[in-house]
Every structure is written in C-alpha cells, then in structure tokens.
A = this chain, B = another copy of it.
Amino acid sequence: MEKIDEHRAFGGVQRRYTHASSTCNCDMTFAVYLPPLADTRRVPVVYWLSGLTCTDENFVNKAGAQRVAAELGIAIVAPDTSPRGEDVADEDSFDMGKGAGFYVNATEAPWAKHYQMYDYVVSELPALLADELGTTLDLSREAIFGHSMGGHGALVIGLRNIDRFAAISAFSPICAPTEVPWGHKAFPKYIGDDKQAWQQYDATYLLSNADNAQALPPIRVEQGLADNFLDEQLHPHRLEEAADQVGADVTVHRREGYDHSYFFIASFMEDHLRFLAKHLGV
C-alpha cells in the first residue's frame, strides 16, 4: 500500500493510497480522511461508496465531509467505483464498465476477471486497512454510506453484513435495481440471466426477505425531488414498502428542489455523518 497524496484538512489529513488488489486483479486507489482525534486514539470508520462515473476523488473534493468528520472524530474511507487499468474490460457508456462496477462480484466474461467490487469493499479493503492502519482505525466500529450507485452499494453491503455495520445511509440510492433500467443493463452483463443472483444485489429484495428486521442496522435515505433519475431509476418508495412490510427502521427524507448532484450531497452531509456517528457510539 503506497501513499500517493496527502493534504492537511480541518486539522486532520486527507490521504490517497494505491495498492495491488488481489480481488480485482489490478491496482486500486482509495482515499482516507483521518480526523485530528486519530493522532491520539483509534477512530471508527465510515465507508463512502460513490456513484456512476466517479473515482475516489469526487467525494473528497466536493462533499464537504471532512469538516464534520474532524469534529466527530471519525475516519472516512472512499474507494474507487470500479477496477481500473488498460487491460480491464470496459464499454463506451457511463453506466457499464469502468466507473460503473455496481458493487457486484461479476461472474460473466469479460467482466469476472476484474469486476469484484462487492468482495473488494466487504473483505479486501477492510483487511488491508486493518493491516496497514490498524493502530489508527478501529475496524470493530464501521458504518457505510454512499450516493446513487454507491447508495445501492451501501444498502446492499449493509443489509448483507448486518453484524458489521452500525448504521447505513444513502443519498439518492438505486433502491430496487432489479426493477429499473440501470440494473437491467448491468446485471445481465456482470452476473448473467439468473434473476435470483440479481436479487442478492437488490436492497429492496434483501430488506423484504430479512429474517429479523429488528436486527437490521438503522437506515437513512435522502432523496431530492428535482432529481432527474428519481422516477425511472431510484424508487425509494419500494424500499419504504419493504421496510413497512418487515418493520425495519428505514427513514426516507424527501427534499424539495434538490437534484442528483454533489450540491445535494453536501447540503445534507452533516446530517448523515451525525446519524452514522450516533449509531457508532460517537
């Protein structure tokens, strides 16, 4: 793991690391913000998963999260959204291939060789952090959040690993990808035509079929009502229906006038970090 960038920010440090990923079979880059408290104590970790077209840098530059993370004493880890490199399969579209890993483990050619983003985020990255930054990060205290495709990733990863994450939150997440065009495009290519396999990457399905809704981590969703993707791709009402059905703790905040951009994310970043921090016991 090599540190490739570092900037002081709000009394802490914003870093970028690269490493050879055995899961994705390529070099992967991720960002870590360490709050001032990390100088003297191990701090909890919040993972941020970004949306389509993003790298690890969009969140770091645009979300305004460091100020709040510094105050709360939490670290934020932001991975890339797909494998990268010249030999990594790609398509000439923004919603498939590089920048569009959808946080799945691909099973189909030519994607399966590198597109293993579910395992990368769930297993390899936390293990790497434990090895390399274990004296700084307290990996027994984790939460996860994200935006759009990354909101989908956060919900799916959180719901499939309920003992790991203290809370889950999402901005404008793709709540029911098996039912919308983005999922209908990506899932057959990455994981084939078996719709039961798709369901393991659908937050609404996972929530509907949760064994013990009381054991689920609390979920907060923020959704702008001027979001161009809302009606066709996002479907937060489906997540709410599933939550009602099983009695899970899911709250969707709808925000008049807000769109799908980082201006929306930044506007409610403090609320989300405080929500996650509260459930992390901060």
Contacts and interface: CB of A to CB of B under 8 A. Distances in A.
Interface of A: 7-11, 14, 61-62, 64, 66-67, 224, 226, 255, 257-259, 261-264, 266-267
Contacts of A258: 8
A261 B263 CA distance: 20
Contact of A62 (B61, B263, B267): B61
Contact of A7 (B7, B14, B264): B264
Contact of A8 (B10, B64, B257): B257
- Copies of this chain, count: 2
Contacts of A266: 9-10, 64, 66-67
Q: Which DSSP category, helix, strand, loop or mixed, fits chain A's interface?
A: mixed
The 8 closest A-B pairs by CB, nearest first: A9-B263, A7-B263, A8-B257, A64-B64, A8-B258, A10-B267, A61-B62, A7-B261
A222 to B, nearest CB: 13
Contacts of A14: 263
Nearest to A13: B257
A147 to B, nearest CB: 14
